[in-house]
Structure 1
């Protein structure tokens, strides 16, 4: 297979991985409907620990990274301040609202990254970045209110935790930047998940009596396999053949799949303002990845 064919194949697979992440939110929504005993914290513990172990089994030489104390502390920070909040706040938002809202709110994480870089690294914001940020938050406003200025369409807590998951998405993106240049992303993610899951168990050592039903364990298995292990593997390999900017654009399939799935599976009723808000958020995030080509003058 030539280079162009490989690039095309892995582009399709990267889009499929984004769809899988979106679909995993639907399985989480289904799981929370099984029983009130199933909590976002319990689901986060299970997902992080099992997924972390599996990723480390798949990875090459996973223990060598722990020989360096600095790397180990970096991975622990990544797990506790990156992977943990992006997971637990996302599941809380799903439980309080739905998979569509939670995924779209989490999708605005790049704007928190942009804000952080502008404040700490004096990164100059383009006019396009500012416009995109305004459009994104107009989109969030429309989703939160259905365009009705007098009341929220979702609870303030659901909006709060959805935005916290976006902050978690930002820290999840920023913390491992330097580390993944030296260490395999599978190793970093695997240990990060394992440390985060164990840390959450230590802080919150409660294990509810989960209903032993096929539906419950099917949902949990799908969240771990379809929502974590397979897409992480795909993305780790896709970046060898596909530009990171292209992969970022393909991430738009995640909120789209979650929204369409919520409509088709759970009968979520989306108003015109909801669809407009969704498209504004997705379009705004995609705009961040737009870099106009420079005109090169011939001498």
Structure 2
């Protein structure tokens, strides 16, 4: 009974974490609307440095020895790859799409990440691509088409640059999922995410340092703090710990709360106008991604027999 109640609790917390990520995109959109001097690059750099330091301090306080991992060259190389190829694109490109379009579009396009994971596993690990996967992929790209054009072939509702960075964000989401798949079994999520954030921040400084002339107003720092705390520190840990009690397939389904929260929040607070085709495209993408987690009954039975 206790394990069942724990599972229910962490299922709710995992859904809450996904919702927080969706809401944090709305905070980012509010920041970009507040001042043109606040850029995706500045927000990403600020989010990463603060979050990285806080997470490592938490890891140290919990006795997880965050500096010990730096002595292992193999683990260190994975952290560098995780930061530069996973965390950096998944956050920077996401905020670029928010600035160029809105939080709803950015979150929905990033939600396409599992298809890039599937393509990678199919090419490199010879994972069998099912008929359902192909149908889901077609459905998802029809959804993107409807979202980008409002269903009109001669009209783009989303700029090409927003679409481009949206797909790069989805690729980053795939990298973010795949790169730490082995190390996460041995290394605390606090340590992994903390160092990954700092590595990504260093990468951004090398590529293009941006400090900017940020308006020193309470609203700016309140919204920035919300992006860091509600959009990074709390949900990352909630989701990481949820995986101990909730099956990964269920967690993947709960990720749908992120685009739902961003879309509903955009409509309620940013007067986002969604046409019938936009809603249809959004639903198609959500259903298509969720369909990837459907397992055939014979596989489920086989798994139960193995257990």
TM-score (norm. length: structure 1) = 0.97
Residue aligning to 2:27: 27
Partner in structure 2 of residue 212 of structure 1: 216
Structure 1: 4+ residue segments shifted above 3 A: none
Instruction: Determine the structure 1 residue equivalent to 2:149.
Output: 145
Is 1:133–2:160 an aligned residue pair?
no
Q: Secondary structure at the match of 1:205?
A: coil
Structure 1 stretch displaced more, 196-205 or 103-112: 196-205
2:10 maps to what in 1? 10
Any idea what the Cα deviations from partners look like across 1:255-275, whole Å, max 9, x if unmatched? 000000000000000001100
Give the superposition deviation at 1:184. 1.4
In 2, Cα distance between the equivalents of 1:241 and 1:140?
33
Q: Name 1:229's counterpart in structure 2.
A: 233
1:292 equivalent in structure 2: 296
Can you give the 5+ residue segments of structure 1 that lack an aligned partner in the other structure? none
- Looking at structure 2, the residues matched to 142 and 280 of structure 1 have their Cα atoms a distance apart, in angstroms, of 9
Q: Does 1:168 align with 2:198?
A: no
Alignment of 1:102-141 (within 5 A): 102-141=106-145
Partner Cα separation in structure 1 for residue 210 and residue 154 of structure 2: 40
Instruction: Give the match's secondary structure for 1:269.
Output: coil
1:83 paired to 2:96: no
Q: Could you tell me how far 1:15 is from its partner in structure 2?
A: 0.4
Map Cα deviations across residues 194-219 of structure 1 (whole Å, 9 max, x no partner).
Answer: 11112211221231010011111111
- What secondary structure, in the 3-state scheme, does the structure 2 residue paired with 1:104 have? helix
**2:305 paired residue number:** none
Deviation at 1:296, TM superposition (A): 5.9
The alpha-carbon deviation at position 42 of structure 1 amounts to 0.7
Answer with 252-261 or 169-178: which moved more. Answer: 169-178
Measure, in 1, the Cα distance between the counterparts of 2:136 and 2:49: 36
Aligned to 1:201: 205
Q: Do structure 1's residue 247 and structure 2's residue 251 form an aligned pair? A: yes
CA spacing shift, 1:238–1:296, aligned 2, 3 Å: closer
Question: In the TM superposition, what is the alpha-carbon distance from 1:292 to its structure 2 partner?
Answer: 2.3
Q: Structure 2: any 5+ residue segments left out of the alignment? A: 303-307
**Structure 1 CA distance for aligned equivalents of residues 176 and 7 of structure 2:** 26
Tell me how large the CA RMSD over aligned residues is: 1.4
Find the counterpart in structure 2 of residue 43 from structure 1. Answer: 43
Question: 268, 271, 274: which is aligned to 1:267?
Answer: 271
Deviations 1:122-172 (A, max 9, x none): 111000100000000000000000111111101111111111100111111
What per-residue deviation string (whole Å, max 9, x for no partner) do you get for residues 33-58 of structure 1? Answer: 11111110111101111111111112
Deviation by residue 1:57-76 (Cα, 9 ceiling, x = unmatched): 12221111111011111101
Kept in 1: contact 2:41–2:210 (CA 8 A)? no
The answer to whether the 8 A contact 2:31-2:223 is kept is yes
